[in-house]
Structure 1
């Protein structure tokens, strides 16, 4: 089954918001064996929307549309659907009652006529109830292509996908099994890895594909296969992954299909019943943010101190001023002291710290821009490592976050730190 995803909204095209809906929908479709052929972002213009519908129908079995379903005049998706399907808007009493119930329960403002227009829907559509908002989903079929229109609010769209759209797709027909395994590596760049595995890659079976997914400080290698025989597909990919482990054992730090590294670290802390504290300087709280964005973080995350200024390291983490004067605020010695201080302050089993010069100015230290020290403190040991992360501020910060996560994972897995 082939799908096209269309996101509607001028706010996407001018960069006012980032389209995260498409990526999420593509992952969910992939889980059930649907291949996404194209993702389009288009303006709030009826003619443009109708043209996009026509193109999508020619190439797809299912077209998923998000956005343009609000109560204001610039939301034109419903009228575009009526134009394309030669339909008209009619009042759907069930949707109207749902809108009234939501306003009565959650909204202090008076229900306006514009809000009631949410219940004016194409007469040919199958209505998909939106439990969390006033704009329902709509399903229409034309020439064997199914169109599903959903609101652009992410949590509303996700609920409609999970409760209605995915079950509909699964019931619609036999789907192939798609299997991925994603290997996480750290410490070497994409070109170096490609050189190391060139011979293996050249001998990959034609139905098994390899994708390089580089990011700052790490590269993910994703092997994929699709077929109707689930067991065969799984065996083929697993056999290649086994060979890959033999070739890259020194730089492989784990696997991640849909999980991020921060999710894997969270799971390790929970399974080992250990707790974590964080002391951040140059990363400005981004390590804490990545770890606490996942549900259940309170089970292991004790707290964080963003000690950005030099004096705050002394006042909040009990870093000795003499240590700073002797070695510089960006030093392995200070990183260790920060980790020890955070571990004591929050009574945690493990602590990680960052101190560095992200640039563009040198700040409180004379070390070169891009110099970063990351500290780890546990009940058994304390250590720090120094890195050169480049000369671009955002790059330095993100690489430091990623390297900190890598060191935490290695500590929890009891691997030798590179």
Structure 2
């Protein structure tokens, strides 16, 4: 059996250890490496210390075929990675003219003077292969030592991702004999991981040995990733698609997309395909539903506008919610949220209106309506649907969860809007 290719990731920075910055780089790199057949064996976060860098690098090289290092390549004195790498690989720093030209071009583009510390970023270990950074001033460095590929990149996520995509991943695919791996993703919403697993248990138990299923939960649902390894034939793609075709009917009411598609993008595609427009009236979500909808390219085809009706005065004046309704039932109620959805639809002349009103917390709750009590509503020309949810977590989680539930309510309610 062919030996699998293993990788380790080392992230450098005191800010990571102090919790001031969250390490999103490792998750992204791990996912991208898996796509090309490289398995991440370990992730290590270390301080900006030459000793820590040397020790982590030596340990990783003893275990892995690929070592990816991020962080510590800035122009300031606390960024020590490049000097430590030069010492580790027993070489000196020398000027790399193409990197200097890239740095100069960046400062010229923004009409800013280039300091000596910026010029120093173009000095690289003599025995490395420079990795071009088209988005920043710190080039990457690629080394090959005793069969191990070591790559050092900036910790800035968008710079690292561009380097990985343009240079590092293609190099690794050429350098190693990697197995053919295919991933297929099924996006689900509205069903927890354990309930989902129970529903598809028979299907999962009968998967061929070369197919593996991973459950990747998120706030409102689960991302199912089916990974296929070579099975000695040329029909891996067909084999996997046949399994997806068997899976889909088992959870059809919870599947919103196939592939790497967000819920807001899937909802947008449905609206666009049906030539429907939508508006939002938001209280507790403060405009996040509108933000999600408009984060999708081309959303102007279906999104018209939003009213952030945080106060009762706005609910009354802009959305037409009567004072009597607010007095009798309160802002957080089925009666109010239904009128909000209908009101914004009428105000902005859209096919669909959606609304949110709730108690996100951490205070404001009562025994009758505790923190996390939230009402959602969907209105079109034929129906108004309201739904109550309770999700007593942190304020931000309550808001994010509510937003995803609104998007799912749109998805679930759209067929009725079209069939009527």
Normalising to structure 2: TM-score of the pair?
A: 0.89
Aligned to 2:384: 382
In structure 2, relative to structure 1, the CA distance for the partners of 1:101 and 1:295 (3 Å cut) is same
1:215 corresponds to 2:218? yes
| Displacement of 1:241 | 3.0
Whole-angstrom CA distance in 2 between matches of 1:366 and 1:153: 47
Contact 2:191 2:221 in 1 (8 A): yes
Contact 1:181 1:255 in 2 (8 A): no
Whole-angstrom CA distance in 2 between matches of 1:269 and 1:248: 22
2:181 aligns to what SS in structure 1?
Answer: strand
Whole-angstrom CA distance in 1 between matches of 2:14 and 2:295: 29
1:267 corresponds to 2:269? yes
Contact 2:345 2:351 in 1 (8 A): yes
Q: How many residues align?
A: 414
1:44 corresponds to 2:48? yes
Aligned to 1:304: 306
1:409 corresponds to 2:398? no
1:143 corresponds to 2:146? yes
1:159 corresponds to 2:162? yes
Whole-angstrom CA distance in 1 between matches of 2:411 and 2:224: 18
| Displacement of 1:117 | 0.8
| Displacement of 1:107 | 4.3
Whole-angstrom CA distance in 1 between matches of 2:184 and 2:151: 30
| Displacement of 1:256 | 4.3
Map 1:276-295 to 2 at 5 A: 276-295=278-297
Contact 1:376 1:384 in 2 (8 A): yes
1:4 corresponds to 2:15? no
1:317 corresponds to 2:297? no
Whole-angstrom CA distance in 2 between matches of 1:73 and 1:128: 22
Q: What's the RMSD between the two structures over aligned residues?
A: 2.7
Per-residue CA deviations over 1:166-204 (Å, capped at 9, x if unaligned) read 222233244323233333444443333333344443333
2:398 aligns to what SS in structure 1?
Answer: helix
Q: 2:78 aligns with which of 74, 78, 99?
A: 74
Map 1:337-356 to 2 at 5 A: 337-356=339-358
Whole-angstrom CA distance in 1 between matches of 2:415 and 2:148: 49
2:20 aligns to what SS in structure 1?
Answer: coil
1:55 corresponds to 2:59? yes
Contact 1:57 1:145 in 2 (8 A): yes
Normalising to structure 1: TM-score of the pair?
A: 0.89
In structure 2, relative to structure 1, the CA distance for the partners of 1:239 and 1:414 (3 Å cut) is farther
| Displacement of 1:337 | 1.6
1:177 aligns to what SS in structure 2?
Answer: coil
Aligned to 2:125: 122
Contact 1:329 1:365 in 2 (8 A): no
Whole-angstrom CA distance in 2 between matches of 1:365 and 1:267: 41
Q: Which runs of 4 or more aligned residues in structure 1 lie more than 6 Å from their structure 2 counterparts after TM superposition?
A: none
Contact 2:381 2:417 in 1 (8 A): no
1:244 corresponds to 2:230? no
Per-residue CA deviations over 1:118-166 (Å, capped at 9, x if unaligned) read 1111011111221221111211111111112111222222222222122
1:168 corresponds to 2:171? yes
Whole-angstrom CA distance in 2 between matches of 1:132 and 1:391: 38
Whole-angstrom CA distance in 1 between matches of 2:98 and 2:184: 44
1:63 aligns to what SS in structure 2?
Answer: strand
Whole-angstrom CA distance in 1 between matches of 2:146 and 2:68: 16
